[in-house]
Structure 1
């Protein structure tokens, strides 16, 4: 990964003006300046309530931060560290039938000493305007607090499943697969996870490119990770000896019963056989009574691999949030499952996607989108940019949002939209960022 061009995009002038009026300096942190770079990393850690990072941890985090556009908000009266942070980069995101460049937003923090001063709003709106100026059609983020980002037009678009299994009662029912499982050292594990993610991420809408620091953390190689010593790795090699799956996990003792819980940090596979082999390893692991994993697709086959499906608990929760910025470019970047001819009226308080739009999807699954002179009253369907962003990747049903009163139009038209937008495989964002 090389330093992206977006690190050269200047800060948004409107947000800069707004914050300057409050006595705050809104600027890009100079990651070539040791003090500026370290200050950003330490402020980011403080904002997420992490422990004060060691010098080694700071150096390791900077390997990732230097590849991003890091913005700090500084208050001269509050010391050298920024009182708020945000960073962003452009990454490919898989959509049905292809990819689209996405403006990924991360490290959004505001110091507890500077809340309720409009800082978060200035930063988030500034990121969206910067993305628009760079010609990026969609933005995305993962969130710590789910009630914040709707005000900026983000919709919860990529739900995931948290799975837990009682291995004492599950009973393995899956077929045995050819190939073998072997343990992996941590560096090999990190390398495998990175390779497998890149090989598989184009198979499900919502996935984005990873980065080395992500896989180092999953493999227990991150400085300051309290669980690092407990991380173990397993890899699956197919009948030809090719690595098709890898899993990072920890084992922790269940008090008083001399048994353990297996927690999967990440599970990456490129074939169904590899997934079955790794699930069999988990379900049949000696001295393990329960296992758990997060960030799995809603159609994970685990419940159909065990004899007692009640031993598997599935908790669906929000994870990936998307925000359409350039509506024609975003909608024309993906394929659709069915033809459609509809006029949408989109409400967008920030103006990016607002207006009436004629969407024509042909038999080839590609869309043609153009602005119309219509109004909300003459459109076939009315919805907000939050709802449009939610259904964009095909993981949220338009019919479900209509039932909730979030999309308005004739039932058959909304059903047609639902059929066109829905993805064949459950979309997934399998990483935090």
Structure 2
């Protein structure tokens, strides 16, 4: 894993992308990790791209100290008034993506994708994305993944929405509690104390949750407000759940917004809730929904199949919005499909179309009785019992974690199959995928 991450970070820029950017009168450059000035200028462009404010010295330093592992690319216009500030940005690193079967798969995690409004429609996003996907594939990374601010952009590059996220707004007074009693203990702890235990807790959880990745560097300190550039960190409260045996099995971070017109009807926003056991999950949610002076509880990046739905007495006290969240793009079909486990045996003949060429081909997926898959390129006749499936790489990537059924995609006209229901059974999962944060 360390070698793969280093190889990806240090791999040369894609020559075709560099040439295409140069033909447009611009320059593609990889930001030097040890150069604070370069990194700060790159960060300024990223902030501008996401409509954020200028970064201060503390923010620049914190980013520089915590994100050296990023592979940071910039497109530069040497004729611009500030040629040191890129007009497009792109970052990536090797993450561990949990796939069905409690398996971690190396993934090229992509973030900080921006193009300045002054340089739109010059193909910069296309060159950055295609070049970096080629670079990732060249070092042997089987999938790429990202979270998106706009859902219409990345399908053209073969990404599919593989894990959706639910946002909940709960009328706490109306909801009531119909869930179990829990034997553990809930206490307030300092942000620093929570930060000490959160990494090991998250590792316990994410290894069994398809769609999750290991937390990127610097993120926990940002969430807990324990890094120098934290803003309004004092507003974050931390709750801890300990089992009867004394194990820290759950944490929740939240902030309260006071209702100035009705203090007893204030709002609580959950920043992150981590629960390694069912008891911790129930105990923390019950506590949040019964807090004094809180009328509304909001939480985001939840699963589309939250147990909480079955723990509140009045389900109409909750409003739930589901949207696309974690996008996946398969680069190596055999490596990706052989890494995960399956709930049903069977054989699928996958005719995959890929405009970028990485996943293009006829692939025979054979799943044995133990749920292990074997994939081979199919150049001749397929077994007579193989179910034929014709689809694009974006559709295969969307179905990869089990977040959407191939039968659903077939009914939507996105997949053709000789038996879509049988194909769906092979790729289906018991646990819907999720990702509990943005990156």
Q: Same fold (TM over 0.5)?
A: yes
Match of 2:243 in 1: 238
- Structure 2: state its 5+ residue gaps: none
CA contact 1:191–1:215 (8 Å) conserved in 2: no
Equivalence for 1:403: 411
Q: Contact between 1:60 and 1:223, CA under 8 Å: does it hold in 2?
A: yes
Q: What residue in structure 1 maps to residue 287 of structure 2?
A: 281
Superposed displacement of residue 373, structure 1: 2.6
Distance 1:163 1:194 in 2: 25
Partner of 2:73: 71
- For the residues of structure 2 that align with 1:167 and 1:143, how far apart are their CA atoms? 30
Q: Are residues 37 and 2 of structure 1, via their aligned partners in 2, closer, same or farther at CA, if it must alter by over 3 Å?
A: farther
Is 1:87–1:107's contact at 8 Å kept on the other side of the alignment?
Answer: yes
Tell me whether 1:55 sits opposite 2:57 in the alignment: yes
Q: 2:393 aligns with which of 385, 394, 400?
A: 385
State the Cα distance separating 1:299 from its structure 2 match: 1.7
CA distances 1:340-384 after superposition (whole Å, capped 9, x unpaired): 1121111111111111111111111111111123699x9822111
Secondary structure class of the residue paired with 2:37: helix
CA contact (8 A) 1:345 1:379 kept: no
CA deviation string 1:79-98 (max 9, x = no partner): 21111110111111111121
- Asked whether the equivalents of residues 254 and 272 of structure 2 are also in contact (C-alpha less than 8 Å), the reply is yes
Determine whether 1:430 maps to 2:436. yes
- The answer on whether the counterparts of 1:261 and 1:290 sit within 8 Å (CA) in structure 2 is yes
Pairing 1:122-161 to 2, within 5 Å after superposition = 122-161=127-166
Cα offset for 1:36? 1.0
> Alpha-carbon deviation of 1:224?
5.1
Equivalence for 1:329? 335
Instruction: Return the offset for 1:2.
Output: 7.9
The residue number in structure 2 matching 1:44 is 46
Q: Which residue of 1 aligns with 2:92?
A: 88
Does 2:396 match 1:394?
Answer: no
Runs of 4+ in 1 over 6 A off after TM superposition: none
In the alignment, structure 1 residue 366 sits paired with structure 2 residue 368: no
Match of 1:290 among 296, 301, 325: 296
Tell me the secondary structure at the aligned position of residue 282 of structure 1.
helix
Q: Is the 8 A contact 2:387 2:423 kept in 1?
A: no
Q: Name which of structure 1's ranges 268-277 and 169-178 shifts more when overlaid on structure 2.
A: 169-178
The unaligned stretches of length 5 or more in structure 1 are: none
TM-score (norm 2): 0.94
C-alpha change, 1:114 and 1:374, in structure 2 (3 Å) is farther
SS of equivalent residue, structure 1 residue 400: helix
RMSD over equivalenced CA pairs, Å: 1.8
User: SS of the residue aligned with 1:380?
Assistant: strand
CA distance in structure 2 between the partners assigned to 1:186 and 1:359 by the alignment: 47
Pairs aligned (count): 430
For 2:2 and 2:106, locate their aligned partners in 1 and report how far apart those are by CA, in whole Å.
Answer: 16
Task: Establish whether residue 115 from structure 1 lines up as the match of residue 117 from structure 2.
Answer: no
CA distance in 2, matches of 1:324, 1:384: 11
1:340 counterpart residue number: 346
CA distance in 2, matches of 1:150, 1:161: 21
1:167 to 172, 179, 185: 172
Deviation for aligned residue 1:54: 1.0
Contact 2:183 2:243 in 1 (8 A): yes
Moved more, 166-175 or 209-218: 209-218
Asked if the contact 1:91/1:103 (under 8 Å) is kept, the reply is yes
For the residues of structure 1 that align with 2:380 and 2:68, how far apart are their CA atoms?
46
